[in-house]
Amino acid sequence: MQLSKLEATIETARRTGEPMPEFSVRSSPHDPGATRNPAIIRALLQGYLSTTPVREAMMDLQKRMHALLSQMIQLGQDRGEIRNDLPAAEIAHVFRQTIFGTLLIWSLYADATLHSRIETAFNLLWSGLAPPGTSTPP
């Protein structure tokens, strides 16, 4: 997902007040071209690891992505939708790891659509991020 799209997504979440778990699943990146072809995802992941300059650029991009995801998690924590016993930055790391892991496994097996795998992963992740004593998010 492009950083500008993530920024816009977070701003929309702020304006609408839609619960963060529902909003994030509905707004998850969905590129029809890439989601039909696991080879594209494998090529992208391989490219990210290919050379030191590319890895450094990827690390810079990931720092910026992490900062934005941390804002999204913090917004959910401030609203009482996400557990607040962990720092938003730590939860954002787990969120990114979930996305990358899902991309990797799907690109290897291609046994379901990427969109459905991401949705399943997000739903499971959100159930673990729900504040104690609340019902599990959808």
Largest CA distance in the chain: 47
Contact of 20 with 76, CB cutoff 8 Å? yes
Domains of the chain: 3-129 (1.10.357.10)
Separation between Cα atoms, residue 1 and residue 4, nearest integer Å: 8
pTM here is 0.78
Instruction: Report the distance separating Cα 127 and Cα 122, nearest Å.
Output: 9
81-93 b/e with 16+ CB inside 10 Å = b? bbbbeeebeebbe
pLDDT at 138: 44
Alpha-carbon separation of residue 91 from 6, 18, 53, 60 (angstroms): 17, 20, 28, 19
How high is the pLDDT of residue 75?
92
Predicted confidence at residue 70, as pLDDT, reads 94
For residue 24, what pLDDT is reported?
64
Q: What is the mean pLDDT of each run of 10 residues along the chain (138 residues)?
A: 77 82 60 70 86 90 92 92 94 91 90 85 86 65
Q: If you search the block for the tokens 């913090």, which residue do you land on?
A: 74
Contact 130, 82 (CB under 8 A): yes
The pLDDT value given to residue 9: 80
Query: CA–CA separation, 99 vs 76, rounded Å?
Result: 18
